């Protein structure tokens, strides 16, 4: 069973003028950290809002935790950190967690026990009795995260969770998310911080203009097909000569060479040739790019990508 399932989900705003989501079909498995990437206005927040019933889909259907999104019942097992969330400012951190936890259906006695742990988790343990109007941006964000966890949810929607959080805090949040995942929770993440997404996500989808452009594991996205970095002990001249002979594109980068081949057979043919001439090979590494490179490539290339 999938934790999040959408089927041709479509959302238009302003009577169809703004197409925030277009025939969006996606499945997210249980126990995964799933990240949604996309430029500003791509429809990431809209997707989460549709899934949580905050906006209504124009077309299509979706389920979270096996229940149709028109049903708020599944929400007791869901945590949500909204983009630009705000809590009533006159409340203290403890009170925010108490009231919002209670709204999620958590027993008050259990909440009283859980609140100190939640605050500790987001490193706000000394701020429980402070009114949140005195909080900094990063502290508010931590507060939002603690709130999202107040009902110990099975499915967590986080819209830009590390927005405004310092580097140390970001690492802590990453570790927290991994920890949650290891406990079987599913995390649905919207983020712009690609280096972070790269470190934490099991699966990534790229969204642009409301359409799904790519979906896969980080590994699949960052490894470039049919490009290999060759590390040789010596004999780079020979390599260049061979590649010229076989008409293989070769570029040098930081002292090593990257060769592009058509398929595995061609790669092995090149290796045979090198070995025939007694060239010592140190390593053949499938070439990787950063997720950022991949993201920019996808988003810029597929300007009007077909679905």
Partner 1 sequence: MKLLAIIQLTFRESLARKTFIAFFGLSTLVNLLFLFALNLDIVDGAESYISLFGKEIDQAFELEKIVYGIESVVAVGLFTGGLFMSLFATSSLIPAFLEKGSIDLLISKPLSRFTILAGRYLGAVAIVAFNVFYLVGFSWLILSFKTGVWNFGFLLAGVMIVLTYAILYALMAFLGVTIRSGPFSLMITYAILFFSPLLLQREAIYALLSGKFWGYLLDFLYHFLPKTTELGNITRMLVQHAEIASWLPALTSLLFGALMFAAASMIFKRKDF
Ligand X SMILES: Nc1ncnc2c1ncn2[C@@H]1O[C@H](COP(=O)(O)OP(=O)(O)OP(=O)(O)O)[C@@H](O)[C@H]1O
Question: Is 78 a binder of partner 1 (CB under 8 A)?
Answer: yes
Residue 84 near which of Mg ion, ligand X, partner 1, none (CB within 5-8 Å, type-dependent)? partner 1
Q: What does the alpha-carbon distance between residue 39 and residue 126 come to, in Å, rounded to a whole number? A: 37
**Could you write out the DSSP letters of every residue in 252-286?**
EETTEEEEE-SSHHHHHHHHHHHHHTTPPEEEEEE
Rank residues 35 and 151 by Cβ distance to Mg ion and give the closer one.
35
Q: Which stretch binds partner 1 (CB under 8 A): 73-81, 168-176, 204-212, 289-297?
A: 73-81
User: Pattern 70-109, binding to Mg ion, x per CB under 5 A?
Assistant: -------------x--------------------------
Give min distance, CB of 18 to ligand X, in A. 5
Token digits of residue 22: 């277009």
Residue 99 near which of ligand X, partner 1, Mg ion, none (CB within 5-8 Å, type-dependent)? partner 1
For residue 162, the SS3 value is: coil
Give min distance, CB of 47 to partner 1, in A. 13
Between strands 67-68 and 223-232, the pairing is unpaired
For 45, 57, 131, 204, the CA distances from 62, given in Å and listed in that order, are 15, 9, 38, 19
Is the separation of the CB atoms in 131 and 91 below 8 Å? Answer: yes
Q: In what order do the strands lie in the sheet with 281-288?
A: 250-253, 256-260, 223-232, 281-288
Indicate which single residue of 84, 117, 126, 195 sits in contact with partner 1 (rule: CB under 8 A).
84
Indicate which single residue of 6, 35, 45, 201 sits in contact with Mg ion (rule: CB under 5 A).
45
Scan residues 207-236 and list those touching partner 1 (CB under 8 A). none
Q: What does the alpha-carbon distance between residue 307 and residue 295 come to, in Å, rounded to a whole number? A: 17
Give min distance, CB of 260 to partner 1, in A. 47
Q: What does the alpha-carbon distance between residue 283 and residue 266 come to, in Å, rounded to a whole number? A: 17
Question: Is 110 a binder of partner 1 (CB under 8 A)?
Answer: no
Give min distance, CB of 99 to partner 1, in A. 5
User: Looking at beta carbons, which residue is closest to Mg ion?
Assistant: 45
Indicate which single residue of 6, 104, 141, 190 sits in contact with partner 1 (rule: CB under 8 A).
104
Give min distance, CB of 13 to partner 1, in A. 7
Is the separation of the CB atoms in 147 and 96 below 8 Å? Answer: yes
Residue 289 near which of Mg ion, ligand X, partner 1, none (CB within 5-8 Å, type-dependent)? none
For 92, 141, 188, the CA distances from 134, given in Å and listed in that order, are 9, 13, 29
For residue 108, the SS3 value is: helix
């Amino acid at each position: 069973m999938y934790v999040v399932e959408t089927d041709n989900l479509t959302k238009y705003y302003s009577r169809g003028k703004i197409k925030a989501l277009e025939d969006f079909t996606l499945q997210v498995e249980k126990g995964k950290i799933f990240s949604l990437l996309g430029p500003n206005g791509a429809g990431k927040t809209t997707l989460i809002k549709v899934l949580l019933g905050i906006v209504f889909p124009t077309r299509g259907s979706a389920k979270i935790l096996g229940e149709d999104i028109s049903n708020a019942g599944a929400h007791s097992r869901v945590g949500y950190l909204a983009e630009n969330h705000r809590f009533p400012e006159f409340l203290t951190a403890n009170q925010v967690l108490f009231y919002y936890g209670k709204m999620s259906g958590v027993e008050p006695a259990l909440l009283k026990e859980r609140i100190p742990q939640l605050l500790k988790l987001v490193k706000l343990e000394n701020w429980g009795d402070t009114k949140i109007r005195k909080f900094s941006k990063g502290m508010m964000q931590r507060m939002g995260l603690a709130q999202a966890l107040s009902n110990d949810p099975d499915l967590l929607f986080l819209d830009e969770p590390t927005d405004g959080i310092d580097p140390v805090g970001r690492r802590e949040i990453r570790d927290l998310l991994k920890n949650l995942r290891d406990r079987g929770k599913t995390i649905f993440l919207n983020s712009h911080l690609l280096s972070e997404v790269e470190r934490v996500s099991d699966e990534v989808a790229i969204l642009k203009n409301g359409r799904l452009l790519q979906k896969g594991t980080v590994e699949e996205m960052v490894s470039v097909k049919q490009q290999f970095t060759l590390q040789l002990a010596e004999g780079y001249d020979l390599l260049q000569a061979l590649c010229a002979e076989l008409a293989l594109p070769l570029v040098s980068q930081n002292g090593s060479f990257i060769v592009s081949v058509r398929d595995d057979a061609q790669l092995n043919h090149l290796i045979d040739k090198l070995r025939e001439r007694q060239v010592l090979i140190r390593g053949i590494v499938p070439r990787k790019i950063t997720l950022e490179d991949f993201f920019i490539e996808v988003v810029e290339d597929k300007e009007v990508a077909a679905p």
